[in-house]
Structure 1
Amino acid sequence: MSERKARGKLREIRAPRGWAAWGTAAWAAGVLAVLVALPLSMRGAYGDRLATHWGTSGEPDGSLPPWAAAVAPAAVWAALVAAAVCWRAARRWRAAALVSGGVLLAGGQVSIARANLHHADWRDADPVSVGAVVTLCAAVAAGCVAALVSRRPAAAPASRGRGARMEIPEGERRVWLSRTANPWLRLLGAAAGAVAVAAPLVGAGVGAGDLAQPMWLLVAPFAVASVAVLGCSSVRVRVGERGMDVAFGPLGWPVRRWDAADVEWARAERRTPAQVGGWGYRLSGLGTTVMLRGGECLVIRAKGKDFAVSVDDAERGAALLNSLAGAHTEHS
């Protein structure tokens, strides 16, 4: 039997350049710059170590070298950004977490730098009680404002159309292939992986006495974040005689499979990140969605559950899957 392949466009699709995506990227970069620049750019204004913790008496009782005082909060911030990108909660809660977390970390770094300013010995650093209270209040207020501003009206219910079917001449087999990638998620995953690789190298080059907390503690969370984000950064979808396969990530693993006999219907549908709660692997009132870019998605229902993936030429893939599913139903 001859085999024909109905291929979708294999080019990568860039994420839409909406205000939300650009605003999130700018906020993440700005907070990161503050966290790293403050301890490193003012090294001549204080000693070799910075007071980073104060006891109940208001006196400093813990310190870090400037490079560690920059890396530690930057690592926490990077992990928070990665978690927010992959978080399945509503958009307003993710925005609140990012804004309040950024204000809290940046405000804390400003308070630490100000307390250590012009003190050669970290034990002489000024108290940070007032700065801590102001920072905490500002973080809570900023989070509330972000939640209100990011609130969106509920998405309209999806169309219940079952999609068209493709006519397949007897004796022929057809396969549909399509692929989509989000370069922003790839960049974020690569950055997290770079931190995981660089952390032990940096720690190896610093004396044990200068290291208040082991750098290897950064490896595990950043490695996990890198694998998780890269796994949701691209998909390859194949529709064939057996059903539909969706392979995740640059290595094509893991893979989710649906047998053609289990597919009730398939259709093409336009969805946006705001409707499903963000980028990546999302759970929402519309079911499961692999959202890599807004626009056309291939939506299927199998075993009573909806699954959608953002790929090109989704209408053709849905038509072929409907035909294959119908053929299995007729033969059963």
Structure 2
Amino acid sequence: MTSGVTGPVPRSRWWLTGATVGVTAVLAGLPWALRDRLPARPATHWSGGGAPDGSLPLWAACLVPAGVWLLTVLATSVRPRRSGATAHPWRAMALAPTGAVLVGAQVCVVRANLDRTDWHQARQPVLGVVLIGAFAAVAAVAAWRFTPRPAAAPAAAPTLEVPEGARLVWFSRTANPWLQLLAAVAGLVTVVALVALAVGLADPAGLWPVCAVAAVTSLTGAVFSSVQAKVSEAGLEVSFGPLGWPVRRWSPAAIETARAERRLPSQVGGWGYRISGLGTTVMLRAGDCLVIRPRGRRADFAVSVDDAERGAALLNTLRTRLPTD
């Protein structure tokens, strides 16, 4: 009893491959194609008054924007070979405006430096900056509007054959070692900062913000780096962290349906406690998730735990045992 989105994988990659190649070609190729009409060091940055205050060699003006674009594509491509046929709206919404801004900026840079003998002669294209913002907004809206959404969950819900009178409990726990490492490192930074403050080794005005950020990061990482799900006659209980707090609970009567579904960080917007078009997902590792639809809600709640199908089946069985009016 498995669920998920299936289909021809290549379709989900065509737009990403085309966008990657096309934008890279424009960013790197446009200045190089017009190199005979550009100064040896094109102006690449302008001050508030419109006069340029920075430049790059022509090869860097070609490769730096292209490198930023490729790094962005790489950062948003989380395990693309297992992402299924469905394109991910969050990825499209990140890449579309980023590509629009980079291409628009490159066009403005080339236009400002065109036929100039020295980069100091280039002037900031004010209208171009406005158009870049508009172009990026249009690209983001288009990406959201035309990117396919994940298919609806199947109607069939798994169940278990439980003998009458039997009482079953299902447990599953997942931890993310990288988030736990982040919490530990941030905790160490907090301790070092507090010691430095206590013995007067650093300026408190500059060290307190570092200490506060590290402490919040450590606490958040410790709480949300592990999760435990429990299904019993009381319903579903999802607890976080080594102390099992905070806790979210749903009684069997409060759950409309339960299922197991394969989800990836690329589908829900990353790791941790994520809110996306799929609802709320506690994403600590890619793979099967226990997904419930709370009664009266239009959004799902999912938690990435092992043996999710058995937990969903037990929940559905408990639902069928509820007394009817």
Which of 212, 229, 233 is equivalent to 1:237?
A: 229
Q: Distance in 1 between matches of 2:228 and 2:290?
A: 12
Q: Distance in 1 between matches of 2:201 and 2:290?
A: 54
Q: Distance in 2 between matches of 1:310 and 1:166?
A: 20
What residue identity is the alignment partner of 1:222? A
Please report how far the alpha carbon of residue 285 of structure 1 lies from its aligned counterpart in structure 2 after TM superposition: 0.7
Q: Residues 297, 212 of structure 1: CA spacing in aligned structure 2 closer, same or farther, 3 A cutoff? A: closer
What do residues 260-313 of structure 1 show as CA deviations (whole Å, max 9, x unaligned)?
111111000000001000000000111100001111000001133310000111
Q: Distance in 2 between matches of 1:190 and 1:95?
A: 32
Q: Which runs of 5+ in 2 are unaligned?
A: 1-88, 97-131
Matched, 1:185 2:187: no
Please report how far the alpha carbon of residue 226 of structure 1 lies from its aligned counterpart in structure 2 after TM superposition: 1.3
Matched, 1:203 2:197: yes
Matched, 1:268 2:260: yes
What residue identity is the alignment partner of 2:173? R
Q: Distance in 1 between matches of 2:273 and 2:204?
A: 37
Q: How does 1:1-332 map to 2 (within 5 A)?
A: 90=90, 154-207=148-201, 211=203, 213-305=205-297, 306-328=300-322, 330-332=323-325
Please report how far the alpha carbon of residue 154 of structure 1 lies from its aligned counterpart in structure 2 after TM superposition: 4.6
Q: Distance in 2 between matches of 1:270 and 1:212?
A: 48
Q: Residues 271, 323 of structure 1: CA spacing in aligned structure 2 closer, same or farther, 3 A cutoff? A: same
With normalisation by structure 1, the TM-score equals: 0.52
Q: Distance in 2 between matches of 1:285 and 1:302?
A: 16
What residue identity is the alignment partner of 1:279? W
Q: Distance in 1 between matches of 2:224 and 2:278?
A: 18
Is the Cα–Cα contact under 8 Å of residues 237 and 247 in structure 1 kept in the other structure?
A: yes
With normalisation by structure 2, the TM-score equals: 0.53
Is the Cα–Cα contact under 8 Å of residues 162 and 265 in structure 1 kept in the other structure?
A: no
Q: Residues 281, 154 of structure 1: CA spacing in aligned structure 2 closer, same or farther, 3 A cutoff? A: farther
What residue identity is the alignment partner of 2:315? L
- Among all aligned residue pairs of Structure 1 and Structure 2, give the percentage whose two residues are the same amino acid: 54
Local SS of the residue matching 1:213? helix
What residue identity is the alignment partner of 1:259? S
Is the Cα–Cα contact under 8 Å of residues 227 and 238 in structure 2 kept in the other structure?
A: yes
Q: Which runs of 5+ in 1 are unaligned?
A: 1-88, 97-139
* Count of aligned residue pairs for this structure pair: 195
Q: Residues 231, 94 of structure 1: CA spacing in aligned structure 2 closer, same or farther, 3 A cutoff? A: farther
What do residues 160-203 of structure 1 show as CA deviations (whole Å, max 9, x unaligned)?
33421111111110011101111011111111111111112123
Q: Residues 91, 185 of structure 1: CA spacing in aligned structure 2 closer, same or farther, 3 A cutoff? A: farther
Q: Distance in 1 between matches of 2:275 and 2:232?
A: 26
What do residues 98-118 of structure 1 show as CA deviations (whole Å, max 9, x unaligned)?
xxxxxxxxxxxxxxxxxxxxx
Local SS of the residue matching 1:282? strand
Q: Residues 327, 212 of structure 1: CA spacing in aligned structure 2 closer, same or farther, 3 A cutoff? A: closer
